[in-house]
Structure 1
Amino acid sequence: MKLQLYVMKTVATRIIGAALILMSILQILDLLDVTTDILDRGLGVAGVFFYAGLRLPRLFEQVAPIAVLAGGLFAFSQLARESAVVAMRASGVSGYRIIGMAIPAVLGVMLLDALCGQVLAPRADPALADWWKNTTPVAERKEVRPRTFRVGADLIMATTASADGRQINAITIFRRNDKGILIEKVESPVARYDGRAWVLDQPKTTRFTGDLAQTSTAASNTWSTALRPNDVQGLLGDDTAPTAASAQRALQDGGSDRPESFYATHLQAAFAGPFVSLVMLLLSAPVALANFRSGQGAILLTGGLAAGLLFLVANGMMTALGESGALSPFLAVWAAPAIFGALAVRTFLALEG
């Protein structure tokens, strides 16, 4: 038990250290761009910390795989240099078991990565965007342009939405029949979600029948749709990656402004994303069996770092192909982790003998 805790602690501390360093670098670079604007708006140091805090979930999501790679390489190279791996193998501990001792540390990173990507960041991003918009000086505010998206067979055009997605401003609904012909247009200054359905305030409805157009108004009207506040946050908020829930809803006519392949790819990526960290651990694992006196350690250390960076590039390229529909979403998301994971295991097996 003490041996397992020692290995896990060694790997975990290196991963945490790498993550903190990488997040600090990204945070500093980000703050260099916005600190002056925050101070000019009179928000003070508290505004800087508020901005930095809301950015943390996205930053961790970005650095988690690289942190595992760097932490694994540092930890395993240290164990190999100190001959700790030789001592463990001499006492009957296999290389597979040594890597298994480090997996709990990576599982913690995977869980935190999934928590940030699927829970924390989707809540922090709209709050940050709303805060930034509300604190922008009136003279510097840009004209808001309407955005369009699709909900089932209906086409929707709207300008802005509240931070919680429960109110849509200046909404226009274009309803079509099964042949795609426009049959009705509904205009409303505000659409509010009351917890069960959307209520349109002072809607103006125009029905098209052949060459005729009939217009009617009402004090309020209920809009029957599968659209939900979470969908509105993604559609009318900043351009962020959809979560598994929002991607699933978009595929089920819950509101979309991109091709079906885009949401199908991100639905797969939501499940595959945390496993990228596990692949990074496997890519760093061969360093534990390296002989640093013969120069093999330097080669494996460099090779592991290069393989990890190449994996990130390949994974990103294939994901982009999946989003555009040029590649199957499942293949686009899972192919790179499977290939690089298999290569890492093959290299480890060859060194283990």
Structure 2
Amino acid sequence: MSAPANKPSRFVLLRYLSGVLLNRVLLCGAVLVGLLEILALLEQTTPILQRHLGVSGILTYATMRLPFLLAGTLPLSLLIGALVTLTQMTLASEMAILQASGLSVVGLYKRLIPATLIIGVLGVTLDDQVTPRSEQALAAWWNRTDPHPENGHSFWFHEGLTLTRVNYVADGGNFLGGVTLYSRNEKGLLQDVIRAERADYSKARGWILHDLKVVHVKTATAENMPDEAERAWPTSLHPWDFIRLSAENPPLSSGTILGMLRGHLPSDSSPGFLQAGLLERFLRPLSLLVLLLIALPVIYIPPRTGTRSWTPVWCLGAGLLFVIVQGMLRAMGNAGLLPPPVATIPGLIIFTLGAVTVLLRNEAK
């Protein structure tokens, strides 16, 4: 009869360590996000007030920007949170008591894995579902409130065999200024060039091109066709798609990335860029586990040394170096210099081996 009552006690340490780590990480994340929000508002408050959006505009911007900042700060929040948690437990002699009771470094790491995976899954969810929607809503709101959208930058994209250039986007994506379509055949040869002064969207009619000039390209000549006042544009794109295409490196969901890679959705990015982004996203939990491993050496701080030890500083530096190296490899993958697997996986392996080596050397002392 006593076995069921004692069974939950096996998970007391797991719940305690996971709870402490989650609390520290959430606290660090809140501080970092708060600092980044303040810096972002210092830069954007003037443009927001110039658009006469007032305090509500400032709050709208801060709210829509929150998921992006939170997702970006999760790795650093976990690193700092793990360092603070383990350092405090070590200096308070909690680690010495746990090790004396038979808890090994591997056992400690295993009990911290669930909390780390929860944070990793939260990061993947933010990156894959929440951030793309919030950033697209922010971009649409920012575009809709722009008093001079014609000053926006032009962009290119390909949809099937058609290459399209848009001068600028306005009205939250419902209006396009200066649309040029280059239609190609299956061999990639140019067939038609359609230049429209503008295009607008309505749910009833879809996209309509206005004031068209059409050039039909033959084998050796080009023929100007009669001008047209308007023409329906048979595109599968919606206003939010143009908001996404007009933004520089917008966050994309995995469904959108897969659609681009399969040719079902228009894209202005290379396949290598999309593949590297997809692979890095779903390796996020593994990256956090590596950061947790990098933070573990602080449990070897001698209690006498206390806060004078440089171990937390070295662990923090190693964690930041890991983040920087991963970012550099990802940039090289985006540029097409490295295949997507090489741009994401080697950094995980190298820093895992380095952290394990440090832990084994401390165990051997």
Q: Same fold (TM over 0.5)?
A: yes
Output the CA distance in 2 between the equivalents of 1:42 and 1:100: 53
Q: Deviation at 1:220?
A: 4.6
Map of 2:95 onto structure 1: 85
Kept in 1, the 8 Å contact 2:151–2:168? The answer is no
Q: Deviation at 1:125?
A: 1.4
CA deviations 1:10-35 (Å, max 9, x no partner) are 21111111111111111111111222
Map of 1:53 onto structure 2: 63
Kept in 1, the 8 Å contact 2:93–2:303? The answer is no
User: Which has the larger displacement, 108-117 or 54-63?
Assistant: 108-117
Output the CA distance in 2 between the equivalents of 1:44 and 1:212: 53
Map of 1:151 onto structure 2: 159
3-state SS in 1 of match to 2:338? coil
TM score, norm. by length of structure 2: 0.83
Output the CA distance in 2 between the equivalents of 1:164 and 1:276: 36
CA distance change for structure 1 residues 230 and 133 in 2, over 3 Å: closer, same or farther?
A: closer
3-state SS in 2 of match to 1:325? coil
Output the CA distance in 1 between the equivalents of 2:144 and 2:347: 42
1:297-308 matches, within 5 Å, as: 298-308=309-319
Output the CA distance in 2 between the equivalents of 1:273 and 1:33: 30
Q: Deviation at 1:133?
A: 3.0
Output the CA distance in 1 between the equivalents of 2:45 and 2:145: 13
Map of 2:331 onto structure 1: 320
Kept in 1, the 8 Å contact 2:157–2:165? The answer is yes
TM score, norm. by length of structure 1: 0.86
Q: Deviation at 1:304?
A: 0.7
Kept in 2, the 8 Å contact 1:261–1:329? The answer is yes
Map of 2:120 onto structure 1: 110
1:165-176 matches, within 5 Å, as: 170-176=178-184
Which runs of 5 or more structure 1 residues have no equivalent in the other structure? none
**Mapped pair 1:341 → 2:352:** yes
User: Which has the larger displacement, 107-116 or 144-153?
Assistant: 144-153
Q: Calculate percent identity across the aligned residue pairs.
A: 28
Kept in 1, the 8 Å contact 2:154–2:246? The answer is no
Map of 1:65 onto structure 2: 75
Map of 2:189 onto structure 1: 181
Map of 2:35 onto structure 1: 25
CA deviations 1:80-105 (Å, max 9, x no partner) are 11111121122222222222222222
Kept in 2, the 8 Å contact 1:167–1:193? The answer is no
Q: Deviation at 1:340?
A: 1.0
Output the CA distance in 2 between the equivalents of 1:103 and 1:185: 57
1:1-353 matches, within 5 Å, as: 1-138=11-148, 143-161=151-169, 170-188=178-196, 189-190=198-199, 192=201, 199-201=207-209, 206-210=215-219, 211-213=221-223, 215=225, 217=228, 220-221=231-232, 223=234, 231-253=241-263, 254-293=265-304, 298-353=309-364
How many residue pairs match? The answer is 349
